[in-house]
Each structure stands twice: as C-alpha cells, then as structure tokens.
Amino acid sequence: MKHISLHNKDRIYSFLKKDVSLHIYSIGDLDDFFWPFTTWYGLVDNGQLREVVLLYFGQSSPTLLALSRNTALVHGLLEKIKPLLPPSFYAHLSPTVQTVFEGTHSLTHHGKHQKMTLAEGATLPEAEQDEVQRISAAESDAVKTFYRTSYPGNWFDPRMLESGQYAGIKKGGDFISVAGIHVYSSAYNVAALGNIATHPQYRDQGLATKVTAYLCRSLRKEVSTIGLNVKADNKPAIACYKKLGFKRVAEYHEYTIRKK
C-alpha cells in the first residue's frame, strides 16, 4: 500500500459516505466554505482508496481527523505521513490509533469522546414563540462575549455565523444560551452541532435543550444527517442529547500532539 495526497472531492466523498455518521466532520469540510483550509491524505492499494485522513487548518492550531472502523489501516496511513504532519497539532483519533505517535511525539490526552447522530424521525420539542432567535453574523461580538463567560476555550470561529445556523436566547439584550454548528454543508447533506452552551447563571433550566432543538428543526430542513461530538464523561450534555433523539455511533479520543 502507498500513501497519496488527495485533491479530488468526488473521490474523497465516495470513500467517506460509506460511513457518514463517523465522518460527518470530514464530509462537511468538503464544502466550498471549508475546503480551502483542508489537506487530505489517502492509503491506496492497487488503485483502490482504502483509508482517508484530514488535516484542517481553519483554526489557530491544525486539527487532524483520523477516524476509522479499521484502526490498522488508519494506523498504517499515519505511519507513512508522519513526516508530513505539522510539528504540533490537535487530533481526533479512533481508539488505539494514538500509538503511532508514541516515541516520536508527546501526547496530551483531552479525554474520551462520543460521536452521536440524530435518529431519523426523532421528535424535537417546540420552543415558545419568539423565545429562540436566529443569530446573524452582525452579532459576532455579542456571541464572543457570551462564550468568554459561558464556554471559555471553545472552538468558536466567527466565520461560522455566516452559515446562518446559530441560534440563541437573550435576556436583557445579552445571550444566555447559544447553539451552533462546527460544520455545515447543504451540498453534502450533513451538519455537526457545536458551541452549545448556557451562561452559568441560567443553567439547569432546559435552555440548551430549547436552542439545540430549535437548531435541529432548522437543520433537518436542509440536511439528512445531524451529528455532534461530546466528551464521554459529560453526563448532563449526553442526557440532553439523548432526550432530543441523538444516538451514540462511535467513540474516539482527542489529543494535543507535539513532535519531540
């Protein structure tokens, strides 16, 4: 088997769509909105694409997505491309895949995570009229102020507001609960929820459930697969997502990886 750089969206998508639930983030990054920030590598055997990994450069730190049901194949691909990777990056890795970096890199583990997808036909609760509102790109500063208090250190990119897929609840002119997306592509029929948070003073009131349900109802009009990532020990969040109809589809781990 040999490794190659991939530049053809159709070829990449033909591989990733075999397991949409596992690869929602990567599929979404094929969209024109995200594509310029991506680098793709594949493992090929007799001309057949056997594995794909993605490096995303749209954040301050590059992020490696190396997720697979066949960890031996993704391990083999990463072994071949290790010299091509940045000296420091964040990573989403299927279980045991991190061993490819042991010895050559230092790894900081950020916990076990779950991938969940919204079940087809899930019944989403309705919010009271005008309680939840769509957030526009013009409200970027207000959203950043909200996250500084409610979700410090999150992965919010103000550019995402341009998707129109952020929703929030306000009180006194300030956001007190927000739900949005990390990835969204109507062209590839997927969305990944993210940056869901509630101000500490207003938690345990069901606000995150309301804004998330509102956003999911909107997204279901545009895409067929809605997913999210959640830390495995975040029991309140997982309970919220299960209540909305999300089901666990895979486990993975997040790391900061630096070359020694």
Q: Is residue 197 part of a domain?
A: yes
- Based on the domain organization, do 37 and 93 belong to the same domain? yes
Instruction: Please say whether the beta carbons of 223 and 189 come within 8 A.
Output: yes
Burial of 197 (0-12, 13-18, 19+ CB in 10 A): buried
Based on the domain organization, do 155 and 70 belong to the same domain? no
Task: Note whether 171 and 83 are same-domain residues.
Answer: no
Whether residue 85 is found in the same domain as residue 124: no
Q: Which domain holds residue 238?
A: 120-244
Tens of pLDDT, residue by residue over 32-67, are: 999 999 999 999 999 999 999 999 998 889 999 999
Residue 73 lies in a domain: yes
Radius of gyration of the chain from its Cα atoms, rounded to whole angstroms: 19
d(CA 213, CA 208): 8
Per-residue pLDDT, 124: 87
CATH of the domain at 127: 3.40.630.30
85 in the same domain as 140: no
Helix, strand or coil, per DSSP, at residue 230: strand
Contact 244, 119 (CB under 8 A): no
Whether 71 and 151 share a structural domain: no
* Residue 249 in domain: no
* 126 and 228 share one domain: yes
126 with 173, same domain: the answer is yes
Do 158 and 58 have their domain in common? no
Number of domain units in the chain? 2
Regarding whether 93 and 199 lie in a shared domain, the answer is no
Is residue 180 in a domain? Answer: yes
Within a domain: residue 172?
yes
pLDDT of the chain, 260 residues: tens digit per residue: 999 999 999 999 999 999 999 999 999 999 999 999 999 999 999 999 999 999 999 888 999 999 999 999 999 999 999 999 999 999 999 999 999 999 999 999 999 999 999 998 888 887 665 789 999 999 999 999 999 999 987 878 888 899 899 999 999 999 999 999 999 999 999 999 999 999 999 998 989 999 999 999 999 999 999 999 999 999 988 998 999 999 999 999 999 999 99
Is 77 within the bounds of a domain? yes
The helix/strand/coil state of 167 is strand
Instruction: Express each pLDDT in 96-135 by its tens digit.
Output: 999 999 999 999 999 999 999 999 888 888 766 578 999 9
Instruction: Assess whether 22 and 6 both reside in one domain.
Output: yes
Both 7 and 83 in one domain: the answer is yes
